[in-house]
Amino acid sequence: MPINILMPALSPTMTEGTLAKWHITEGDTVAAGDVLAEIETDKATMEVEAVDEGTLGRILVPEGTEGVPVNQAIAILLEEGEDAAALEAAPATAAAAPELASETTAAVAPSAVATAAPATAPVPSGNRLFASPLARRMAKQAGLDLVALRGSGPHGRIVKTDVEAALTGGAPAAAPAPAPSAAPVMPVGGGPSAKQLADLLGMAYRQEALSNVRKTIARRLTEAKQTVPHFYLTVDCQVDDLLKARKEINGRFDGVKVSVNDFVVKAVALGLMQVPAANASWDSSGTLYYEHADVSVAVATPMGLITPVVKSAEEKGLAAISAEMKDLAGRAREGKLAPEEYQGGTFTVSNLGMFGVKDFAAIINPPQGCILAVGAGEQRPVVKDGALAVATVMSCTLSVDHRVVDGAVGAEFLAAFKTLIECPAAMLL
């Protein structure tokens, strides 16, 4: 009996994914452990390996297809001795995604075949226009009139590729932009989108499709800002002793190159152990207080921001944290992190100091209760023992979920962090 290859759940929160690339083609022989495809989740692109042997009989989901639900069949594997005729006996598959269903020819009853219209033109039913949901959405966003398009899908149905071809070829738009000499007419109700406004004003731009990572960032941070009651606490840390210790460590020990951020991660972890009330998350069933400091560190990648986690950072030395962060950050930029390596942090560090940013306030990464925004260390005038002096000062701003952490607790954590970061030797206690 043919075997369905299903869209895997690559993380606990994954409900759908993008089939980015097939590594095999129909007719290829497959062995257990062979890489079948690359699946793009909301955080990374991961390889999917075969668990059965056989021959790839049919690919059901073409590469590049977005929004494929978990557990939907994406291909059919023929077992040894089976041929293409066995595909008709393949087990029933989960419901296909809307666009996939519109672009694959379904089995049709014999009586319907005899009356089917040619696939070269849409087949209306009264005033009804046959188009896939994705094609309708794309056309609406682009301002295209679907009546002007000819469908290439089953029975003349308008599909995604038809809309893309029309956009490339300059198909008639439902609401064309006015002549340059005329005043632009703005859409009514909620204001125009960025694309609508650019089109109306004739602005030149380049548009890139949204990756799953970018969509997830937009969704989660919008939810965070709308649903999490943020407040902010800022402290200035004098880091001359830290810079001196870093220089001595990097110069004395071969193969060890610790960064300022490694000190920050360690100080955060130890600060959370000293003030465990800040190592917490909101949950409607009750506040969660974590036993270990699993510190998420924001890393910029070509796909967007991702936060690999240094687990139990309070138990690790600076050299271990440095080596782990180099490995995690490198694989994050390549999209090679496993879900457990970027999920489950209890506190986040976001450091923009290397870009010369003096200070900023970061958005909390739910369900965590806090995020620390670290600015650049810069020389500033300070008062020491009643006299004016110059010190290297680094501003750090703690964003706090007020449902979980009160102002006094946030201030207590920042005081512990400041002591540790200003006196690196205190991290050895």
Asked whether residue 144 falls in the same domain as residue 255, the answer is: no
What residues are annotated to the active site? 402
Give me the domain span that covers residue 325: 228-428
Asked whether residue 14 falls in the same domain as residue 140, the answer is: no
Does residue 67 come out as left (phi exceeding 0), alpha (psi in the -120 to 50 range) or beta? left
In a domain, 16, yes or no: yes
Name the residue with higher pLDDT: 175 or 67.
Answer: 67
From 201, 236, 266, the end of a domain falls on: 201
Answer whether residue 105 shows pLDDT above 50. no
Which CATH number is 343's domain given? 3.30.559.10
Asked whether residue 418 falls in the same domain as residue 278, the answer is: yes
Q: Measuring CA to CA, how many Å separate 102 from each of 34, 121, 159, 348? A: 30, 15, 7, 43
Asked whether residue 274 falls in the same domain as residue 196, the answer is: no
pLDDT number for residue 429: 80
Asked whether residue 281 falls in the same domain as residue 359, the answer is: yes
In a domain, 187, yes or no: no
Structure tokens at 343: 């999920």
In a domain, 132, yes or no: yes
In a domain, 405, yes or no: yes
Answer whether residue 110 shows pLDDT above 60. no
pLDDT, one tens digit per residue, over 290-335 is: 999 999 999 998 888 899 999 999 999 999 999 999 999 999 998 8
Tally of domains within the chain: 3
Asked whether residue 274 falls in the same domain as residue 392, the answer is: yes
Radius of gyration of the chain (CA): 28
Asked whether residue 76 falls in the same domain as residue 129, the answer is: no
Asked whether residue 406 falls in the same domain as residue 365, the answer is: yes
In a domain, 347, yes or no: yes
In a domain, 219, yes or no: no
Answer whether residue 81 shows pLDDT above 80. no
Asked whether residue 255 falls in the same domain as residue 397, the answer is: yes
pLDDT number for residue 330: 94
User: How large is the average pLDDT for residues 46-61?
Assistant: 85
Q: Which contacts of 126-131 are long-range, i.e. CB under 8 A and separated by 24 or more positions? A: 129/158, 130/155, 130/156, 130/157, 130/158, 131/157, 131/158, 131/159
In a domain, 212, yes or no: no
In a domain, 350, yes or no: yes
User: Which residues lie across from 300 on neighbouring strands?
Assistant: 305
pLDDT, one tens digit per residue, over 354-397 is: 999 999 999 999 999 999 999 999 999 999 889 999 999 999 99
Q: Measuring CA to CA, how many Å separate 21 from each of 13, 36, 47, 108? A: 22, 9, 9, 30
Asked whether residue 344 falls in the same domain as residue 259, the answer is: yes
pLDDT, one tens digit per residue, over 326-354 is: 999 999 998 888 888 999 999 999 999 99
